[in-house]
Amino acid sequence: MDITSDIHSQHISRQFNHELEELKTHLMAMGGLVEKQVQDAVSALLEGDSSLAERVVDNDRAVNDMQIKIDDECTRVLARRQPAASDLRLVLAVIRAASDLERIGDEASKIARNAIELIDNNVGGRGFVEVRIISEHVRRMMRDALTSFARFDTELALQVVQEDEQVDNEYQTAMRSLMTFMMEDARSISPVLGIMWILRALERVGDHANNLAEYVVYLVKGLDIRHTDPDDLDQELGES
C-alpha cells in the first residue's frame, strides 16, 4: 500500500470511528432525556404537579423524534460503511437500544397520564412510597445500563440484569399490598388501580433497562471474538 492510500484509509477509518462515537453520543443523549421523562413523570405524581405531567406527555414526541434520527443515522452508517464484526454489532445494538429507550419514553408518558388523572381526582398518598422506591431503583438501573453501554462494561451490565429480579420482587410485594387496600376499601379501587398501572409501567422500565444491559453483553461478546482464531471468526460471522 502506498503512503497516499494509507493516509486515505486512515482518514476513512478515523471518520468511521467518529461516526460510531456519534451514534453512541446520540444514544446517550436520548437516554438522558428518557431518564428525565421518567423522573419528571414520577415527581409530577408525588408532588401533585399536573402541568409537569402534561409536559412529560408533550415531550414524548421529542423522544420519538430522537429514535427516528438515531435509526436514520444507523441506516446511513450501514449503507455507507458496510461495517462488519463488532462494528456491525455496535450499530445493531444502538438500533435495539434506541427502540427500548423509546418504549421507556412511552412508559413515562403512561405514568404521566395516570398521574394527571390521579391529581385531578385529588387522590391521597396511598402507594406513593412504593412508587418512589421502585422508580429510584429502575432509574438507577437505566443509568447503569447506559453507562455500561458507553463503557462496554459487562460487569456493570450483569449487575443491572441481577437488579431486575429485585425490582420484580419489589413490584410483586407492592401489588399484593395494594390489592389488600382495595379489598378493605372499595372507594380506593379506582385510585389504587391508577397507582398499579404506574407501578407496572415502572416495572417495564426495569425490563427495558435489563434489555439495554443484555445488548452490552452481546456487544462485548462480539468484541471478544476479535481475539479468537480467524477461522472460527469467519464461521461465527458466517462470512464463508
Contacts to a second copy by CB under 8 A? 72, 75-76, 78-80, 82, 84-85, 88-89, 92, 95-96, 99, 179, 182-183, 186, 189-190, 193, 200, 237-239
Name the residue nearer to a second copy (CB basis): 143 or 200.
200
Question: Rounded to the nearest whole angstrom, what is the least distance from the CB of residue 78 to a second copy in the complex?
Answer: 6
Q: What three-state secondary structure class fits 84?
A: coil
Name the residue nearer to a second copy (CB basis): 17 or 155.
17
Q: From the CB of residue 149, how many other CB atoms can be counted at a distance below 10 Å?
A: 24
The answer to whether 167 and 206 have CB atoms below 8 angstroms apart is: yes
Name the residue nearer to a second copy (CB basis): 64 or 147.
64
The answer to whether 24 and 152 have CB atoms below 8 angstroms apart is: no
Name the residue nearer to a second copy (CB basis): 129 or 189.
189
Question: Rounded to the nearest whole angstrom, what is the least distance from the CB of residue 2 to a second copy in the complex?
Answer: 26
The answer to whether 91 and 19 have CB atoms below 8 angstroms apart is: no
Question: Rounded to the nearest whole angstrom, what is the least distance from the CB of residue 47 to a second copy in the complex?
Answer: 26
Place of cell 399536573: 50
Q: From the CB of residue 13, how many other CB atoms can be counted at a distance below 10 Å?
A: 11
Question: Rounded to the nearest whole angstrom, what is the least distance from the CB of residue 171 to a second copy in the complex?
Answer: 13
Name the residue nearer to a second copy (CB basis): 4 or 82.
82
Question: Rounded to the nearest whole angstrom, what is the least distance from the CB of residue 186 to a second copy in the complex?
Answer: 5
**Rounded CA gap, 77 and 71, in Å?**
10
Could you tell me the maximum CA-CA distance found in the chain, to the nearest angstrom? 82
